[in-house]
Amino acid sequence: MEDYTWQAESIAHHLGSKGQLLSTEEERWETLILDGKPFRRMLERNHKPISDSEQRGQQRKIEEAARAESTESADQKQRRIKKAQADRKRELAFLSEIPDLMDLTLETDSTIEGRPVWVVSGKPKPGVQAKSSDARMLTKIIGRIWIDKATHQWAKVEAQTTDLVSWGLFLLRFSPGAHLTFEQTEVSAGVWLPHRLFIAGQGRVALFKRLAADQEIRWSNYRKFSVDATSHTDIR
């Protein structure tokens, strides 16, 4: 994703304790990655463009990051790249535990957007113990994965929690029965990037704020980009 910029839109429904709709929040933004960090440039909130002052503030931060990247030495760049790669590897290390933690079953063949896929279901193995803290959540979910036959990349995942699941140092918790759907799409040969995320369920944020909502995020318009550090972001 470091080679791309993209646009995304989100719609979130916030619900009360009895399931009543309290509010709806919609956002649209553009994201690019500079110095290994994602920069979100907000475009609209609830169908209204953001203010001129917020636009200027966002652009200033992007230009500052671009200038910093253009002046770093070769050694600094290499260290930054290695750190980003190590962080990414650590974040995804839990995926390698899937075969050890879950019983996987090939269910059937299907198609997604005209592409042939395998459908594989998974459920936790009885009494299994995860090696990493991130992988513990795998012992508390059941689901299915759709695997593209041509590229062996996963095109879609559906999961449901069977127990309390926590993310982000316990700042976000989902109760049993929460649902998640995550889809990817091939944006160029061999490059699969996020397409849609849908989450619905009850839980808590920061251990005290009750959360009962659903949220959908859609990513689109992936484009290669380059940076002119002195003036602006050039999207190709």
3-class SS letters over 106-132: EEEEEEECCEEEEEEEEEECCCCCCCC
Give the per-residue pLDDT at 231: 39
Question: Using 50, 70 and 90 to split pLDDT, how confident is the model at 7?
Answer: very high
Number of compact structural domains in the chain: 1
> Which residues are registered as beta bridge partners of 167?
172
Position 53 pLDDT exceeds 90: yes
Mean pLDDT rounded to a whole number for the chain: 84
> Residues 164-174: pLDDT tens digits?
877 654 456 77
pLDDT confidence of 112, banded at 50, 70, 90? very high
Going by their DSSP bridges, the two strands 21-34 and 48-49 should be labelled as unpaired
pTM: 0.81
Average pLDDT on 95-116 reads 93
More confident site: 194 or 73 = 194
Residue whose C-alpha is closest to residue 20's, from 213, 215, 224: 213
In terms of residue numbers, what domain contains 88?
Answer: 4-235
